[in-house]
Amino acid sequence: MEALARTKPTPEELAKRQEEKNLSDFKSQFRNAILGIPEKFRWVDQHIQPNPKSRLSLDEQAKLYAEINDRTKRLEGWAFFSPAGFGKTTASWLLYKWAIRQNLYHAIWTGQQEWVVRDAPRTTPYFYDCYCWHIVLPEYLAQIQASWTDDSVARPKMIFDKFEKAKTQGFTPRLFIEELDKVKEGSEWANNILFTLFNAVDKHKAQLVFDTNLSRQQFMNRFGEPIYRRAKENCNMREWGF
């Protein structure tokens, strides 16, 4: 009996095993999450170095990457305004990696996760949905519109409805948006969706990251002062090339 009693794991041993399992799950799921990033950006990590091919100066690149990788900055909101070639998409994907890492960690160590209904199999290996979204805005809006008249088109998740649930589960919602400038200009409906997203970010203290070929002034002229103001209040803004 005494020998059997000694073989029972101690609470410390059980805690250690759980920590090892969590760490293994985290590494596996993070690798899977990265497969959803376009191949030419998967390499981007905290060791990124200035690229002489970029239109942004080497000094400015080094300063930007140091900021993005800083513990106090890498999970904050960011907005990048520049013409093509200044590395804003690269910076956005680096921030996305930090964001998905943070929310996956919370999901695995707490057991909490975003609940998502799936009508089709995943196109990439499995990882927890964890309130970290990356959307190409024109595609997102087009899918919403197509779902109105075609029952075979799945309506995309209405992200702004999920912010409050994320906060109750201890997550920071994290929203990454591409190709804002390719949204149809003058569309009141599209602007309303964008305002609702940005307003949810502001209300729930979420992370917002986006990049655009527009200047800050062009962005405000196109989408309006209320949307611009919420971006300014929730993002570190950087502008180059104008």
Q: Domain ranges in the chain? A: 2-239
pLDDT, position 158: 74
Task: Note the pLDDT of residue 4.
Answer: 54
Mean pLDDT score, 74-103:
97
Give per-residue pLDDT as tens, 55-72. 999 999 999 999 999 999
Locate 81 and state its tokens.
């305004």
> pLDDT band at 95, cuts 50/70/90?
very high
The answer on pLDDT for 3 being more than 70 is no
Residue 160: the pLDDT is 83
DSSP bridge partners of 136: 178
More reliable by pLDDT, 1 or 30: 30
Cβ count within 10 A of residue 44: 20
Query: Which pTM value belongs to this model?
Result: 0.91
Output helix, strand, coil percentages for the chain, rounded to the nearest 5.
55, 10, 35
Question: Over 70: is that where the pLDDT of 233 sits?
Answer: yes
With 70 as the cut, is the pLDDT of residue 176 above it?
Answer: yes
Show Cβ contacts of residue 216 under 8 Å, excluding neighbours closer than 6 positions: 81, 228, 237, 239
Calpha distance 239→242 (Å, rounded): 8
The pLDDT confidence band at residue 108, using thresholds 50, 70 and 90, is very high
DSSP string covering 100-140: HHHHHHHHHHH--------SS--SS------SEEEEEHHHH
Name the architecture of domain 2-239.
Answer: 3-Layer(aba) Sandwich (3.40)
Asked if residue 76 lies in contact with residue 87, where contact means CB atoms within 8 angstroms, the answer is: no
Share of the chain above pLDDT 90, in %: 76
User: What is the pLDDT, as a whole number, of residue 121?
Assistant: 62
Average pLDDT of span 204-213: 97
The answer on pLDDT for 85 being more than 90 is yes
pLDDT at 148 exceeding the cut of 90:
no
Percent of the chain past pLDDT 70, that is, above it, reads 90
Beta strands in the chain (DSSP E): 78-81, 132-136, 174-178, 207-212, 236-239
* Mean pLDDT rounded to a whole number for the chain: 90
pLDDT (tens digit per residue) in 18-64: 999 999 999 999 999 999 999 999 999 999 999 999 999 999 999 99
Nearest CA among 77, 107, 98, 22 for reference residue 198:
77
CA nearest neighbour of 160 among 204, 118, 210:
204
**pLDDT at residue 30, rounded to an integer:** 95
pLDDT exceeds 70 at position 198: yes
Q: Which is more confidently placed, 199 or 116?
A: 199
